[in-house]
Each structure stands twice: as structure tokens, then as C-alpha cells.
Structure 1
Amino acid sequence: MTTDGISAAEQVLAKVLLPLCVLSGALVLSGFFFPAFVGNAVSGQSWLTVSLLFFSSGLGYLAVLPYDPDADRQSGELALLRIRRTKLVDVVREFVTRQDPIVLLVPVVVFALFLLLQIAFPASVTETVDEASQGILTEGGPVFLGAVFLAVLYCLFLLVGPWGEVKLGSPDTEPSYTYPMYFTLIFTAGIAAGIVFWGPAEALTHYQTPPPYFDAAPESGAAIDGALTYVLFHWGFSAWSAYTVIGVPIAYFVFKRGAPLRVSTILTPFLGVDGLDSVWSRLVDTLAVFATIGGIATSIALVSEQFLTGIASKWGVSSGEVGPVLFVGGLTIIFVLSAASGIHRGIRRIAALNVVLFGLFALILVGIGPRSFVLERATSAVGSYAVNFVPMSLYAGGQWVADWTVWNWSWWFSWAPFAGLFIAAVSRGRRIRTVVLTSVVATSAASMVWFLLLGGTSLFVQHSGEADILAVIADYASSEAVAGYPLFGALPLTELLTFLFLSLIVVFMATSADTSTLVVAFLSTRRGLAPSTGSIVFWGVFQGAVAVSVLIVGGSETLQAISVLTGGPFAVLTLVSLGALTLTLYRNERGHQSLVGRARDRLPTIQTHHDLDPPDED
């Protein structure tokens, strides 16, 4: 997913963005760390504008910086992953001629119809969607629980079994990215800002209303362990396995069987490579586009509330109705520039910055947080997670499980089409075992460390009485978006933590939105053609427009519920595709060795002394 060459417009844009970033950054940093120096020079909603200008110009500058395209060609990257760069006069014509009309028009019409109905009949739409959502999540709970558990088992088998040795590509194919960058791209694309939104909040929520599986008293010491255990469960191996069981089949059929890079490629065993232009394939790709846009748009709407809450807590700014629109507009500029520049420029650079900020925040929290408490509770939670993993995976008791566990599994499956496709796209030249190790084990480890640190610290602050975070959440209309800020106020380096937290909100959301924009552009482009810059820009702006619309007319939670419901079909499709992949691998990939076999072969051979040999039998 690269672009060739740097246009004159991008060169001019880079020259404009750099001074904007420096000037606005100086104001923002001064306002955070030296407020007396700034005084009343910037006040009110101007802080919101300056903050958005800083993030937009800084990340936009990273996206448009030049790079050496020859390095990409030498890496042997799949040609189909390149973005077609054209002159402005050709953009509209190529956009129209290259789009698949079904995959393009159906999601656009559905979203437009939803917004019209939301405006005309808001109460009826919300009630209908809520009833459907509750019915499916409650009655279909066993399906989601079973699908995720089977996904974990399948990933475990791929990790240790013989098929993990299968290389995605020809024997001499080399990976397109170094391993650190490979992990960075997968982790930042798949997790989005949910890890920031729920980091300080989910453990507290389970602490206040404990999961029935552990039967602990609310806000008790026992509730702490149960809360952290379920946080690990919701963001650990089970969650990331949902992405991988879609990504691995796509990668195998693309790089080993020549199938197109599409979500519908999971149907290759049933339709054949030549049959992937069928109505069924287009239906799967269209559903994937809808799920992706709905999920990203509602996530943008949710994190806008969290970002604006942080600005308000720092400078007392009331954003009003304009604030969310400004935030989404600034964020849209960032991820459109990043997506249009391609993986080797904006997406890769912003993802790397994301991981650096992520690690820096975690290290600071380790340095200033309650280390003894977090270490003790984290050790207990990890042990509980390991011991209770299987029964928790199969536990389907009560409304709590439907509202939390089943909802989470459906949400992860609704994101799986775009995340799985992206995992497949960047996995060329990797072995299946490496794909699973990275997209399940490594990403889960990073997620769990984050939640243990941030969730454990918030539980310590709440349980010890240093701050009443739950009361602040209740005062803020029970919105978890506010949870992080009273937590940082109870810790040293409040300003630095708040600044890094706000930065992570923007960067995490940008790294998922730019990837989703690129993936949707590929899905909507006719088979065999690379998406044009116009297609990238259209889908990026469309995602931003949907987010702004639901913020203005309401219905972000309703749209989120609709998007989550798309997880059901993909959960079923995943199970079917895994069965077909298993038959394909069994027939075509024999002769590989499992990890157990490799370990056995490396054991030293014990030579038997002739004096100990049994006597020859006559």
C-alpha cells in the first residue's frame, strides 16, 4: 500500500504544515506546562482550535514527508497494494470507472437512510435497534462465545501445529516489513482508541458492578481481582483471535492461491478464485465496508467526547456543539492524509509514533504509580485469567455476560473484516506461525500490560480513597470518557500524563481510521485494480461525515449497535471459512513439522552402551 513519487502539492503542503506545527505546538506545550507564560493570550475555545491545529499539522507533516520509493520496489511488495497516483483532472474519472457500484452505493445509501430515519423518528429507530441488539446478543450469546473460543483453539493449533510452518508466498519471498514495524502496524490498526477510552474505566466499572462469575461484593478487595481478570479476558487472546482467524485464510488464499485481496477471499474454497466476482462475494465485501465504516465512525464519535473532556478539564473550555465537529474535522484531515500517502509514509510513521507514545506513557506510569499494588494485583489477575480462561470462555450466565462479554465479541468480529484484511496484506513472506504469534500473542501481551497498569492504578486510587473516580463518572452522566482525568489529577506529573493521554487518543484513532480508509478503498475498487487517491479521499471524508452526522443528529450508540450486529454474520462466516481452510491445508500442506516435532528432534540422542544392550535372541 504505497505511493510512487512525491507531488508538488505535497511538497508545498509539507512546507506549510511544519511551521504551523511548531507555532501551535509551542502554544499548546506552554499552555500545559507553563500556563503563566501564556496568560490570557489564548483562552476559551481557542485552546481547542490550537490543539487540533497542532495535532493535525504535526501528524499531517509526518504523512507527506518524502521517502525512497525504490526501497519499496526492492522489498518485493505486492503490486496490488500500491495506490494509484494521478493528476487532479483524472481523479474524478478514475474514481467513477474504478469503483464497484454495488460495494460503493449500498453502504452510502444505507448510511444516508439511517441518518434520515434518525432525524425523522429518533425514538422509534433507537427502540427498534436496541430490541434487535438485545435479542441477538442474548439469544445468540452461545454462538459468539463458541465462535471466539474455537478461534482461540484454532490459533493455538496454528501456533504449535505443523501448518504454522507454511510460508505465505513462494519459498524465496521475503517479508515487506521488519518485524518491529510488522507488529506496530498490526497492533495500532486493530486496537484503535478503545484501549485509551476503556483503559482507566473498564476495570472500575467491573469493580463497581462485579461480574457474576466471581460473585464478589461491589467495590471490595475481591472485586479488584475479578475486575482485572475480566479486563484481560475482554482485551486478550480471545479478542485478537477474532482478527487472526479472518486474516490467516485471506493471506493464505491471496499469497498461495492467487486470490484477490478481499474479505470475500475467505470463500475461495467454495467459489474458487474465478468465482470471487459473484454476488455472494460482493455481499460479503459490502457487509465488510458497512461494518468498518460504522465501527470507525462511532469510535470517532466516542473518542471526540473523551478528547473534548480532557480539553475542558485542563482549560475549562466549553466546546458546545461546534467542538465535536472541529475535532472530527481535524482528525479526518489527519487520517485522510495518512491513508492517501500509503503505508510506507503516513501510516507507518504515525503507527511508529503511536507505539513510542504508548510505551512512554506506560513507563511513566510504572515510575510514578503504585508499583507494589499493581504488581501484586496484576500477578493475581494473570493467574486467575490462566486458571479460569476456559470456564470464562464458556460461561453464558445472565445479562451481564450479554452486555459485556458477548457485546465485546460481537464488536471484535465486526472489526475483524478490515483488521483481518490488513493483517493479511502486511503478512506476505511471513510464516503462519509468525502471523499468529504477532497478531494474537504479542498484541494481547501489549494490551494486557496496558490494562493492568492503567486499570490497576485507577483501582488503587479509587479503592484507597485518593480520588473518587466513580463519583466523577456519575456526575458526568455516567460517561466513562471522563475516567482518566481525575486519575491523573491524583498522580504526580498530572500535566504530562494528560498531554500524553490526549495525544494517544488522537494518534490511536488516526492509526485505525487511516488503515480502515485504505481497506475500504480496496474493497470498493474493481478486482485487479488499485484504488486511486480520489477513492482514498472519498472514503476517508465519508467516514468523517458519518461521524459528524451522528454527533449532530444523535444516534452514535444506535449506529454502534447496528455495526456490532454485523459481527454475527462474520462470526458464522469465520467458522465456515476455518473449516474450508482446514481441508485445504490438509490436502495441500503436508510434510510440515510441528513445534513439538522440532523440539523432539533437537533433543540429544542417548547412545546405548554395548554392555547394556540386551542379549541377542537366537
Structure 2
Amino acid sequence: MTSDSIDHSGSGAPPDDVRPDLDPAPDRTLITVGVLAVVAVVAWAAWGKSSFDSASSTALAWVLDNFAWLFVVAADTFLVLCLVLAVSRYGRIRLGADDSEPEFTNLAWIAMMFSAGMGIGLMFYGVGEPLTHFLSPPPATGAQPGSGDAARTALEYSFFHWTLTPWAIYGIAGLALAYAGFRKQRGNRLSSAFVPLIGARRADGRVGRCIDLLAVFATVFGTATSLGLGALQVAEGLDITSGVHNSRTTQLVIIAALSAAFVLSAFSGLHKGVKWLSTINLVLAAVLMVFVFLLGPTVYVLDTIPASIGGYLHDLLPMASRTGAFTDRAWLGAWTVFYWAWWLSWAPFVGTFIARISRGRTIREFLIGVLLVPSGATVIWFCVMGGTAIRLASTGAADLAGAVRDGAEASLFATLDALPIGTVTSYIAMALVMTYFITSADSASLVMGSLTSRGSLHPPTWLVVMWGVLMAAVAAVLLVAGGLKSLQTATILVALPFVVVMLGLCWSLVKELREDPGAGPSRHGALHGLRDAVRTMVGDAITEQGAARHHRLRRAAKSRTGDESSGTPQP
């Protein structure tokens, strides 16, 4: 591509002779600092368990008391911004040169995006969260446990935590990174998206390294949470189906075995390992969901889909504005704030990954795909899996209350066990969790390799594997230190500083999009029209006042001229 063709496209990309190298060498300083910091946390959690638990619990309480509002406001901001950009004139901007084409087919793109963003979490909470809220409704709702209102509320809150808002967080991160990397050719790292705010020199210097380091920390601990959840669920499944005792040793063996499988996948690259496993995940998840739908309470599930979607959209604003000021702050921290922190900590990973696979798509196509396709699939998943569990519990067909007491990881297998060939479907579910584990670790490691290689699209394999092993170590140590509670606490604490980074990312993105000629001429909408109308009225008033003043001055000047010429006083 020549410099002339880029200028005519309006993409704003620099010519070939000044483009940065898209496969630079690893940043050894960033790698060293990041590795030492992660190893220090791992060592503290492993050998100072009591002090680590005390410090993390105190810090968590402080964060929830002082910054729950920040997580809530930030999450709402990301969703609103995504919707505005998708319908605005900026939606026509292409993530790359104006004549670029998508690198992956729609099916492969959606499969990789979905597997990276939600896989293990949906397996873990797809039954566990709706069932938990059904048996113990959120305190702000006033629903009675086990009632119809509780069932509706359970699905509404599941949608709230898993559909539009989390994917808006991913969408903003992914859009900013894809725009900076493919449209502006600045590299595939988070700091490159901050050039409009801090300048190219600072983005390549210490400030940029600090931003990338925060992204690495968020990715390590956010992904470690998912890997820990996956290990918990596989261990529970083995206990139920095969009689293998669910212990910390079993969980650690699972993490080690799946990490070895991830290493093999990492060596195969993005176009083979991740792509193939992501497609397999999508097919297996669809098979499992269809099985539960057909052999479970089919009519009830069909009833829940429109009813719960309508309820979710109706109650979205109240749910999105609860900060714990008038409700149970502990519940908010255990659910909503934890989820927002989890998604924020995953934002650099999922955002960088979906940016990496979205070259050539328009902003509108990107945001619609990121927001609606995974959200729609998630709604169906929760209605089928969670709705089936709620129906089984409400009719007494299965005792799922005991499974909830044992943990969210046991709810899925208890539900499958209440349906025909429960053992077979439980093994399929475990296979799904394991493949999601591998693709999540593979994708996250690829992203961290890119972040620590100055945005390289093809980081060295040894670097990718190293970050994957460190993530697995963090997951293992946090499980030993305190199980699910430690995973949630670490996620919230690491995500707090990253909220500020993400809000700055929004500002930087909007600032640069406004200057992109690829958006075309401004099409004034209602807000622009109101603004222009106000400006016009004010301008007209000022003009009229100025004209009147000018007319008075001219009359006064003529009057003085007449006095001087005639020598007689003027009336």
C-alpha cells in the first residue's frame, strides 16, 4: 500500500516508511517488572497466607465502602458510549484501511470472541447464579424466595451481570485497541490508544509502560479467577460423576494438566489452536444447550425468554444505578461490583484479543457484533440452563437447594443429573470447561505477550507460554489461599486502578474519532440540532444588538457632522 492510497482513503494511517514495526522485540524492562510483581504476590499468598488474607480482606472492605459507586458509574458509561458510537456517523469508520477486508469469517470471529470472553464463567454461573437468586433473591427486590417474582428477578439479574454491560466494557477496550492498531498503525498495546491524550513520546515511555503494566496485572488476576473457577468446576464434576474426591490437590492437578494442554495449543498459533478449540467450544455448548432444552421444561423455557428479556430491559436503569447506598452493600460487593471488576480486569485481555481478530470491520459492525451476538447467546443460555434449574427446583423434581449450598460449581451437575443420561452430559460439560480453560489461557497469554512486546501481533512463543504458566500459578495459589473468596477479592482490588485507565481510554477514543475524516460529514442529530439552534438564537440576538448599536453610532456621527457644518443646534 502506498502513501498516496492511504491519503486518499482518509484512514489517517502513516505511510509505510514511518509505520512502527508490528512485530517488535519484547520489552525486557516491562517483562521483568511484571514477572517480579506477580511472583511477589504469589509468594506472599503461598507463604504468608494469614497476613495475605487479612490485608486483602481489609482492602476489599475499604474499596467497597468508598468506590462501589465508581464501578457502577463506569460500567454505565461504557454501555452508553458503545450505543452512541454504534448509531453515530463514526460507525462507518473501518478498523484498518478503507479498503481492508475482515481477516476471519463471521462464524470464526464470533466463536473466538465468545470463547475468550465468557466461556468458563457461563459454565460456572449459568445455572448457579439464577438458582442462587431464585432461592435467595437480591435484597433490593423484595421478592419472596422460591416465588414467581424471584424466578423473574433471578434471570433479570443474570442478564444484567452477563449481557450488554460486560460486553460494552470489552467493546470499548477492543474498539480503542483495534482503532489504534489497525487504523492508526500504532501497535497492539493499550498505551498506543492513549496517544491523543499523552502524546506519542509519553506513550512509548514510562507513562505508556505504566499503563501496559496495569493492563498486564489486570489480565493476570482476572484470567486467574476464570482458571480457578474452571478448576473448581471440573473437580466438582469428577467428584459427582467419577467419585474422585474434590480436594485442593485434585484442583491443583487439574490446573497443571490443563496448563500443559494450553502450552501445546500456544505452540500451534492463533489460526490453528485457538480457532479450532473455540469452534469446538461453540459446537459443544450448543449441543449441551439443545439437549437440556429438548429434554427439560421446554415450554417453560420458551415462556421465560420474552418475559425475562422484557423485565430486564424495563428494570435495566434501576439495576444499573444501585450503588449500595440504600441496599445491602455486602451483596452488591459479592455480585454486581465483583462482576464489574471481573469484566474490567478482563478488558485488556478480551479487548486486545477481539481487536486482534477484528481487522477490517467497521466500528458499527464491530460494536453490533460485540454487543448483540454474545449477549443474545447468553440470554438463551441462561434461560435454558438457569430456567431449567429454576423449574426443577420450584416443582420439586430435583433438590437443587443442597447443590447451591455446596457452591455454584455443583449446581450445573445437579441439574444435568436430574435429566436423562446425566452422566454423559456431565462429562460433556466438563470437557467444555476444560476446553474453555485452554482457550482462555491461550488467548490471555497471547495478549500479555503482545502487551509486553511493544504491541507485537506475533509475540515470541516462549513469552506467551511464560505468561500462561504464571497465570496458572496465580490461580493455584489463590485457590489454596482461600478458594473462591480469594479469587473474587483479588479481582476487585486489581480492577480498581484500572477503572481510571478505562475511563481515560474512552476520552482518548472519542477525541481521536472526532478528527477522523473516514466518519464523513457531520449529520446533525437532535442534540446537534438543539445545540445549533441555541447558538443561532444567541448569535442572532448578538447580531441584532450589534446592528442596533452600530445604527445609533452612525446617527450620532451624522448628527455631530451636521452641527459642525451648519453651526446651528440640532433638536
**Do the aligned partners of 2:57 and 2:489 also contact (CA within 8 Å) in 1?**
yes
What is the Cα-based RMSD across aligned positions, in Å? 2.3
- Report the more deviating stretch, 268-277 or 443-452: 268-277
Residue 528 of structure 1 and its aligned partner are, at CA, apart by 5.8
- 1:408 is aligned to 339
- 2:542 is aligned to none
Pick from 428, 431, 442 the counterpart of residue 503 of structure 1: 431
Partner amino acid, structure 2, of 1:549: V
- 1:272 is aligned to 199
TM-score by length of 2: 0.83
Pick from 65, 69, 75 the counterpart of residue 148 of structure 1: 75
Residue 200 of structure 1 and its aligned partner are, at CA, apart by 1.0
**Do the aligned partners of 1:161 and 1:593 also contact (CA within 8 Å) in 2?**
no
Residue 437 of structure 1 and its aligned partner are, at CA, apart by 1.0
Is the alpha carbon distance of 1:134 and 1:357 closer, same or farther for their aligned partners in structure 2, counting shifts above 3 Å?
A: same
**Do the aligned partners of 1:249 and 1:577 also contact (CA within 8 Å) in 2?**
yes
1:581 and 2:512 aligned: no
- 1:521 is aligned to 449
**Do the aligned partners of 1:99 and 1:525 also contact (CA within 8 Å) in 2?**
yes
User: SS at 1:248's partner residue?
Assistant: helix
Is the alpha carbon distance of 1:108 and 1:154 closer, same or farther for their aligned partners in structure 2, counting shifts above 3 Å?
A: same
Distance 2:123 2:499 in 1: 26
User: SS at 1:396's partner residue?
Assistant: coil
**Matched residues, number:** 503
Distance 2:523 2:432 in 1: 40
Distance 1:433 1:182 in 2: 15
Partner amino acid, structure 1, of 2:100: T
Residue 129 of structure 1 and its aligned partner are, at CA, apart by 1.0
- 1:467 is aligned to 398
Distance 1:555 1:503 in 2: 22
Q: What do the CA deviations read for 1:39-86 (whole angstroms, capped 9, x no partner)?
A: xxxxxxxxxxxxxxxxxxxxxxxxxxxxxxxxxxxxxxx99777x9xx
- Report the more deviating stretch, 265-274 or 423-432: 265-274
User: SS at 1:170's partner residue?
Assistant: coil
- 1:549 is aligned to 477
Q: What do the CA deviations read for 1:485-527 (whole angstroms, capped 9, x no partner)?
A: 2211211221232121111111112111110011111112246
Is the alpha carbon distance of 1:551 and 1:214 closer, same or farther for their aligned partners in structure 2, counting shifts above 3 Å?
A: closer
- 1:615 is aligned to none
TM-score by length of 1: 0.77
**Do the aligned partners of 2:266 and 2:461 also contact (CA within 8 Å) in 1?**
no
**Do the aligned partners of 1:370 and 1:457 also contact (CA within 8 Å) in 2?**
yes
Distance 1:246 1:332 in 2: 27
Residue 464 of structure 1 and its aligned partner are, at CA, apart by 0.9
Distance 2:323 2:480 in 1: 37
- 1:313 is aligned to 240
Residue 145 of structure 1 and its aligned partner are, at CA, apart by 1.2
- 2:116 is aligned to 189
Residue 247 of structure 1 and its aligned partner are, at CA, apart by 1.1
User: SS at 1:211's partner residue?
Assistant: coil
1:558 and 2:486 aligned: yes
- 2:418 is aligned to 490
Pick from 565, 571, 577 the counterpart of residue 499 of structure 2: 571
**Do the aligned partners of 1:378 and 1:456 also contact (CA within 8 Å) in 2?**
no
Distance 1:551 1:408 in 2: 18
Residue 216 of structure 1 and its aligned partner are, at CA, apart by 0.5
Residue 394 of structure 1 and its aligned partner are, at CA, apart by 1.1
Distance 1:319 1:79 in 2: 50
- 2:131 is aligned to 204
Q: What do the CA deviations read for 1:248-278 (whole angstroms, capped 9, x no partner)?
A: 1111122222211101122111233344221
Is the alpha carbon distance of 1:553 and 1:149 closer, same or farther for their aligned partners in structure 2, counting shifts above 3 Å?
A: closer
- 2:556 is aligned to none
Distance 2:56 2:484 in 1: 12
Distance 1:358 1:80 in 2: 39
**Do the aligned partners of 1:250 and 1:262 also contact (CA within 8 Å) in 2?**
yes
1:434 and 2:390 aligned: no
**Do the aligned partners of 2:130 and 2:386 also contact (CA within 8 Å) in 1?**
yes
Q: What do the CA deviations read for 1:114-133 (whole angstroms, capped 9, x no partner)?
A: 23323443223212212212
- 1:134 is aligned to 61
- 1:452 is aligned to 383
**Do the aligned partners of 2:296 and 2:419 also contact (CA within 8 Å) in 1?**
yes
Partner amino acid, structure 2, of 1:485: F
Partner amino acid, structure 2, of 1:591: G
Residue 366 of structure 1 and its aligned partner are, at CA, apart by 1.3
Distance 2:68 2:267 in 1: 39
Pick from 75, 81, 87 the counterpart of residue 160 of structure 1: 87
Q: What do the CA deviations read for 1:66-109 (whole angstroms, capped 9, x no partner)?
A: xxxxxxxxxxxx99777x9xxxxxxxxxxxxx432332122322
- 5+ residue gaps, structure 1, are 1-77, 85-97, 598-618
Q: What do the CA deviations read for 1:330-381 (whole angstroms, capped 9, x no partner)?
A: 2112222222221111010000101011111111111111012222223221
Distance 1:381 1:201 in 2: 17
Residue 229 of structure 1 and its aligned partner are, at CA, apart by 0.6
- 5+ residue gaps, structure 2, are 1-18, 527-571
Residue 302 of structure 1 and its aligned partner are, at CA, apart by 2.3
Distance 2:259 2:486 in 1: 22
User: SS at 2:101's partner residue?
Assistant: coil
Residue 529 of structure 1 and its aligned partner are, at CA, apart by 8.3
Is the alpha carbon distance of 1:530 and 1:501 closer, same or farther for their aligned partners in structure 2, counting shifts above 3 Å?
A: closer
- Report the more deviating stretch, 304-313 or 581-590: 581-590
Partner amino acid, structure 1, of 2:452: S
- 1:255 is aligned to 182
User: SS at 1:272's partner residue?
Assistant: helix
**Do the aligned partners of 1:145 and 1:393 also contact (CA within 8 Å) in 2?**
yes
Is the alpha carbon distance of 1:269 and 1:522 closer, same or farther for their aligned partners in structure 2, counting shifts above 3 Å?
A: same
Is the alpha carbon distance of 1:272 and 1:208 closer, same or farther for their aligned partners in structure 2, counting shifts above 3 Å?
A: same
Distance 1:560 1:111 in 2: 17
Q: Percent identity?
A: 32
Q: Which runs of 4+ in 1 moved over 6 A?
A: 78-82, 593-597
- 1:591 is aligned to 520
1:540 and 2:471 aligned: no
Q: What do the CA deviations read for 1:140-170 (whole angstroms, capped 9, x no partner)?
A: 1221111111111111112211111001111
Is the alpha carbon distance of 1:362 and 1:292 closer, same or farther for their aligned partners in structure 2, counting shifts above 3 Å?
A: same
User: SS at 1:193's partner residue?
Assistant: helix
Pair member with larger Rg = 2
Residue 568 of structure 1 and its aligned partner are, at CA, apart by 2.4
Pick from 443, 459, 462 the counterpart of residue 531 of structure 1: 459
1:333 and 2:264 aligned: no
Distance 2:217 2:488 in 1: 11
User: SS at 1:587's partner residue?
Assistant: coil
Residue 298 of structure 1 and its aligned partner are, at CA, apart by 2.9
**Do the aligned partners of 1:165 and 1:592 also contact (CA within 8 Å) in 2?**
no
- Report the more deviating stretch, 373-382 or 411-420: 373-382
Partner amino acid, structure 2, of 1:500: I
Distance 1:109 1:382 in 2: 46
Partner amino acid, structure 2, of 1:469: L
Pick from 205, 212, 230 the counterpart of residue 303 of structure 1: 230
Distance 2:456 2:410 in 1: 46
- Report the more deviating stretch, 536-545 or 301-310: 536-545
Residue 409 of structure 1 and its aligned partner are, at CA, apart by 0.8
- Report the more deviating stretch, 106-115 or 289-298: 106-115
